Amino acid sequence: MTKAEIVNEISKTTGIDKANVLETIEKFMEVVKDSIAHGEPVYLRGFGSFIIKTRSQKTARNISKNTTIIIPEHKIPAFKPAKCFMEDVKA
């Protein structure tokens, strides 16, 4: 499902104008991105959590040059679904 399809579905079921729904979704995504960028996880009860995971340092190989490189420790955004979310998906 794309963002446009989500906007259409919300607009259709709630009766709210598509432009307002799109603006709300855009603002939600902006708030989540800003929070994660500042190291603050976002918890949505019954849905899941947007968190930051730390990937540890590792050694990788460049096969074409036959060299070894070190990939430093870095942070990545992640989503952890809520338990009830997982149960609904598995059903």
Q: What is the per-residue pLDDT across 5-40, written as a single tens digit (0 to 9) for each? A: 999 999 999 999 999 999 999 999 999 999 999 999
Q: Residue 14: its pLDDT value, please? A: 96
Using alpha carbons, select from 34, 24, 44, 41 the residue that is nearest to residue 78.
Answer: 41
The residue ranges of DSSP E strands in 1-91, in sequence order, are: 42-44, 48-55, 58-62, 67-71, 74-81
Residue 52: which of 32, 28, 82, 26 has the closest Cα? 32
Domain residue extents for the chain: 1-40, 42-91
Q: What's the CATH fold of domain 42-91? A: HU Protein; Chain A (4.10.520)
pTM above threshold 0.85: no
